[in-house]
Amino acid sequence: MKNRYLPDSSVIISGQILDFIQNLDFKEDVEIVLSRVVLAEIENNANQDKTTGIVGIEMLNDLRKIVDDLQKERQKTIKIRVYGERPSLEQIKLNTGGELDAVIRIHANDVNATLITSDDIQAQMAEIEQIPTIKLKSVEEQMIKGQRIQHFFDNESMSVHLKAGCYPMAKKGSPGHWQLVAIGDKLLTRSDLEEIGSNIIKEAKNDINSFIERDLPGVTVVQLKTYRIVICKPPFADGNEITAVRPLVSLSLSDYDMNEPLVNRLERAEGILVAGSPGAGKSTFISALTEFYLDKRKIVKTLESVRDLQVPPEVSQYGELDGDFEKTADILLLVRPDFTLFDEIRTTGDFKIFSDMRLAGVGMVGVIHASSALDAIQRFIRRIELGVLPSVVDTVIFIREGQIDEILKMSIRVKVPYGIKDVGLARPVVEIRDYVNNKLMYEIYEFGSNIIVTPVGKGIKRKSSYKRRSSKKRRKSKKKYNKGRSYSKKDSYYEKYMDNPSKPSSNYMGVDYGTDNKDSRFVLDDNGEPVIKFGIVFGKKSLVLKAGTDCAQMYVDIFADDMFVASCQINKYGDITISKDSPLYKKLDVAVEKGMEIYGKKT
């Protein structure tokens, strides 16, 4: 039959088949053949609450109505029939390899029908197999009927928020200076949201600059030209809703308050974090930074879970390869970009990929949600080794209300941490400085098994519940401190919690002074005899003397200054744990309070 057509899922979901049928010249009878493979694909997506499936069913119903109307109007035979068998489970699993598309072409060939598609690969394969094919071009926007998401935007709108049963709302203004206002006096219905969502899918399917980023049960993410759109429905959400965001302004680095040294820093820096709260203007700054790097003749790529950054066409935007950013990172290393923009860093895997690529020599710019520049840095702690942190992140730019609010730079050096006076406790310390005035702001270092973040030069409040010693005892302790190696509970507590004294640990009320148990504690006293210098940790229920693994299982006599206290055995971890209920605990507690030096001698 000459006028027999078999549409694939691409033209059904986009609605193009409806316009194709309506524009036919009905000089002869027409038959529309629906492959059961196409119907099964649409039904499967609909059962998973995917928007493409819901829209597909809607288009099939519209197709049936149009065929009935045309048959009455043109007085010609226009019929629809279903052909073929439903796909097997194995064929569905192999769908990403084109298995279902191949079956659709077989069905078109079996019934001697012309294949209707808008998919390039499907059309090319059909021509190779000598199957008559019509490839439909993109539907122009004006052909889409009903409400469209673009209708809700004006020149001041940053985002639009639509929900069934509510008035349409929009954020108007600029980053950091916006208001949420109603943009309509009519409550939206579920059918309104379904119509808008259907049109979004149609446009995305037929626009070369648009795509469906994710289509999951209850949620669909669409990049419709410059609009990033999230369509939600039950069971994922409690009702139908659509959120659309678009960039309102486009800036260059010259629009930010940046001096020449800072611009030079951005050119040299290769591990940059751009931090800020949602809507602060991070993406706008990233776009400006991209233009800056392109002007410097740099090759720039992006790594995005949702590819919505507004970047020049010279910049390729990469998503998750086979659902895995690590595979994308492997490809990026082959592409060899000068800079990669990672938007946004969230999971531990994201932090690892950012670190690995930076250590591999790729310039990295990461976008991260944080309430301050320091918080952005702290999100890396424990995820990577502290010693390589400055090699991974050397510059942090915090954006607030669309402008640069703070810039920090990081470096590492070996020194005695701030607030500690014993030169024997020198260790690698990460210094965080204000870029503008080079002022030291924070120090990060390891103390035993803890990582300490210390504000430098800022007042440290006492914990109100802590029992304060008399000034006489404090003076005595300080004098003894300079003479020997003695630490009070007060010193222990505040050295550990000076960064956040209001949030004590659930396990410790003190700090481990030199508790790296891999190091030997043996030193020589004034008589040349070897003694063990203990690290001291006051816990809630116990006191721990830390001697080091070199002293494991050793029997020792414990002394406070020249006073014998007790004989104990060091455990296999290099520790002596003393219960708070033990008389020995009370002796050592008094000795520490008096500023006496606690040490051990091998028996």
Phi then psi dihedrals of residue 250, to 5 deg: -125, 120
> What contacts 435, CB < 8 A, 6 or more positions away?
262, 265, 395, 407, 408, 409
Instruction: Report d(CA 442, CA 440) in Å as an integer.
Output: 6
CA-to-CA separations, 285 to 148, 403, 430, in angstroms, rounded: 29, 8, 27
Q: Is the pLDDT of residue 495 over 50?
A: no
Q: Is the pLDDT of residue 546 over 90?
A: no
- CA 138, 136, 50, 368 dihedral sign is negative
pLDDT given at position 32: 92
Burial class (CB in 10 A: 0-12, 13-18, 19+), 294: middle
Between CA 24 and CA 34, with CA 30 as vertex, the angle to 5 degrees is 105
Average pLDDT, the chain: 80
Quote the strand ranges of 19-129, DSSP E.
30-35, 78-83, 114-117
The whole-number average pLDDT for the span 556-571 is 86
- CA 487, 490, 492, 498 dihedral sign is negative
More confident residue, 247 or 372: 372
Q: Counting every residue, how long is the chain?
A: 603
Q: What CATH number was assigned to the domain covering residues 145-245?
A: 3.30.450
| Two domains, one topology: 4-137 and 253-455 | yes
Tokens representing 413 are: 């050096």
Q: Is the pLDDT of residue 333 over 90?
A: no
Per domain, the residue ranges of the chain are 4-137, 145-245, 253-455, 471-602
Q: For residue 162, name the pLDDT band (cuts at 50, 70, 90).
A: very high
Judge whether 28 and 42 are in contact, CB under 8 Å.
Answer: no
Tell me the residue type at 327: K
More confident residue, 509 or 341: 341
The whole-number average pLDDT for the span 443-450 is 85
Q: Is the pLDDT of residue 598 over 60?
A: yes
Phi then psi dihedrals of residue 575, to 5 deg: -120, 155
- CA 189, 190, 191, 192 dihedral sign is positive
DSSP state of 360: T
Q: For residue 166, name the pLDDT band (cuts at 50, 70, 90).
A: very high
Strand partners, 211: 223
Quote the strand ranges of 338-447, DSSP E.
339-343, 363-369, 395-400, 403-415, 427-434, 440-447
311-342 residues labelled b (16+ CB within 10 A) or e (exposed): beeebebbbeeeeebeebbeebeeeebebbbb
> Given its phi and psi angles, is residue 84 left (phi above 0), alpha (psi -120 to 50 degrees) or beta?
left
Q: Is the pLDDT of residue 130 over 90?
A: yes
Q: Is the pLDDT of residue 116 over 70?
A: yes
The whole-number average pLDDT for the span 221-238 is 88
CA-to-CA separations, 357 to 297, 352, 430, in angstroms, rounded: 20, 9, 21
Instruction: Report d(CA 106, CA 565) in Å as an integer.
Output: 91
Instruction: Report d(CA 497, CA 202) in Å as an integer.
Output: 57
More confident residue, 190 or 251: 190
The whole-number average pLDDT for the span 30-58 is 88
Q: What CATH number was assigned to the domain covering residues 253-455?
A: 3.40.50.300
Q: For residue 479, name the pLDDT band (cuts at 50, 70, 90).
A: very low
Q: Is the pLDDT of residue 279 over 90?
A: no
Highest mean pLDDT range out of 302-311, 456-465, 506-515, 565-574?
565-574
- Is the pTM higher than 0.75? The answer reads no
Helices 99-110 and 120-128, packing angle to 10 deg = 50
Judge whether 511 and 496 are in contact, CB under 8 Å.
Answer: yes
Q: For residue 93, name the pLDDT band (cuts at 50, 70, 90).
A: low
CA-to-CA separations, 162 to 78, 159, 165, 233, 242, in angstroms, rounded: 39, 10, 9, 12, 5
Q: Is the pLDDT of residue 516 over 60?
A: no
- For domain 4-137, which CATH number applies: 3.40.50.360, 3.30.565.10, 3.40.50.1010, 1.10.3720.10? 3.40.50.1010
Judge whether 534 and 545 are in contact, CB under 8 Å.
Answer: yes
The helix or strand, by DSSP H or E, that contains position 303, with its residue range, turns out to be: strand 300-304
CA-to-CA separations, 508 to 168, 321, 499, in angstroms, rounded: 52, 45, 15
Pick from 8-17, 298-307, 480-489: least confident: 480-489
The whole-number average pLDDT for the span 196-202 is 88
Q: Is the pLDDT of residue 244 over 90?
A: yes
